[in-house]
Amino acid sequence: MRFLFKTGYEQDVRLFKHGGQVFWYGVLAVVLLAAPWWAGDYVMTQLHFICIYSIVGFGLMMLVGFTGQISLGHAAFLAVGAYTEALMQAAGIPFVISISCAALFSAVAGLIVGLPALRLKGIYLAIATLAFNVIVEEILARWHSLTGGNEGMTVKPVRMFGYELTNDWQFYYLCLALTVLCGLACVNLLRSPTGRAFVAIRDSEISASCLGVNLAKYKTMSFAISAALTGIAGALYAHKIAFISPEQFTLFQSIELITIVILGGIGFLHGAVLGAAFVIVLPQLISIAKGWLPEGVAPTGLQAVVFGVILILFIIFEPLGLYGRWLKVRTWFELFPFYRRGMFRRQKSYMKSERLR
């Protein structure tokens, strides 16, 4: 077991807490940087998607995991990012500018959604974001002159500094770099007063406002930041898929995005990455499992069933998600004979009313 002795204030804000972290993150970085050498085409594609979904996961984690707001409309932000990127690339605008604009426009959309969030709570907020998602999807389908309607539009490969990134590995490094940047931005934000304010709002709005946190400002900001990250992911998504149409950004996409943070572990940035990897790998595992089904049973619904069952089992048995499971395993080893089963148990077993707030 490792003991951390605090000998200076700067230790509290240091990115890596101890040498072990430096070592393991270093190993991870080397493995990921070497991916084009050890991974085949198929694995590379999965890695692209994991990077993209991780960025969405970061965005959702900031909103759901750290600010405690609910969104069932993140596919709409993804769509705003994707369409912005597609249109700007079609107009020949450089990638650096276009992806910034994708983030910016998504953030503006997030601001628009965040404004009602100041008055709405819980389920009403969920419905408002859901309604926003449906409306954005419908606008994309109907605004034929701009988006190509339901026929969708093709997206050109990324063009940066005069080069076209046509190879898988070039795009992979781009995705990886952006994922790391977004992750670092989130880590930094959470160490700042803004991040602390988010967490304060999540834990108790009343206490936060008593401590001088401007609820309106920080809730809107959280929506905007979350939407901006999702917009960046949307831009990458557009390039990856190379063809976007409104039916990729439905409510069901939103739900899938939300499951990233639920399965990964709400309230941990690591959880966003783990959840993204899980959500990407799961359909591949299911398609393998389809061969084992008995004769006469149609495999069409298998994916939905497995997905639903996993969601239910996770929430019942591992509410802290994949990262929570890892924490428990690690704690078990660190404390070896002294781990107690109740260490991570929720203290509360009654219902917390949302009607009185």
Binding site for other proteins (CB under 8 A): 64, 70, 116, 119-120, 122-124, 126-128, 130-132, 134-135, 138, 141-142, 206, 251, 255, 258-259, 262, 266, 296-312, 315-316, 319, 346, 348-357
With a CB cutoff of 8 Å and minimum separation 6, the contacts of 41 are: 168
Closer residue to other proteins in complex, CB, 7/349: 349
**Smallest separation, CB 14 to other proteins (Å):** 31
What is the rounded distance in angstroms from the CA atom of residue 11 to the CA atom of residue 8?
Answer: 6
* C-alpha span between 174 and 241 (Å, rounded): 15
DSSP H helical segments within 118-154, as ranges? 122-142, 144-147
Distance of closest approach, residue 273 Cβ to other proteins, in angstroms: 19
Q: Judged by CB, which is closer to other proteins: 32, or 255? A: 255
Q: How many CB atoms lie within 10 A of CB 30?
A: 9
Query: Cβ of residue 335: shortest distance to other proteins, in angstroms?
Result: 26
Q: How far is CA 278 from the centre of its chain?
A: 12
Give the span between the Cα atoms of 107 and 113, in whole angstroms: 10
DSSP-derived letter for residue 294 is P
- Closest to other proteins by CB, 258 or 280: 258
| Alpha-carbon span 180 to 65, nearest angstrom | 19
Cα–Cα distance between 132 and 147 in angstroms, integer? Answer: 18
Shortest Cβ distance from residue 237 to other proteins (Å)?
A: 22
Q: Is the CB of 332 or the CB of 344 nearer to other proteins?
A: 344
Q: Which is nearer to other proteins, 171 or 268 (CB)?
A: 268
Does residue 309 contact residue 298 with C-beta atoms inside 8 Å?
A: no
**Closest to other proteins by CB, 91 or 316:** 316
Q: How far is the C-alpha of 109 from the C-alpha of 103, rounded, in Å?
A: 10
**Nearer to other proteins (CB atom), residue 93 or residue 134:** 134
d(CA 258, CA 274): 13
By the 8 A CB rule, do 220 and 118 touch?
Answer: yes
The smaller minimum CB distance to other proteins, of residues 131 and 216, is found at 131
d(CA 355, CA 357): 6
CB of 83 to other proteins, least distance (A): 18
Query: Nearer to other proteins by C-beta: 13 or 297?
Result: 297
Q: How far is the CB of 63 from other proteins (least distance, A)?
A: 11
Shortest separation between residue 178's beta carbon and other proteins, angstroms: 28
| Least separation in angstroms between CB 307 and other proteins | 5
What is the residue type of 189? L
Closest CA to 77 of 45, 106, 111, 34: 106
- Tell me how far, at minimum, the Cβ of 276 lies from other proteins, in Å: 16
Other Cβ atoms less than 10 A from the Cβ of 72: the count is 20
Tokens at 311, concatenated:
């969601």
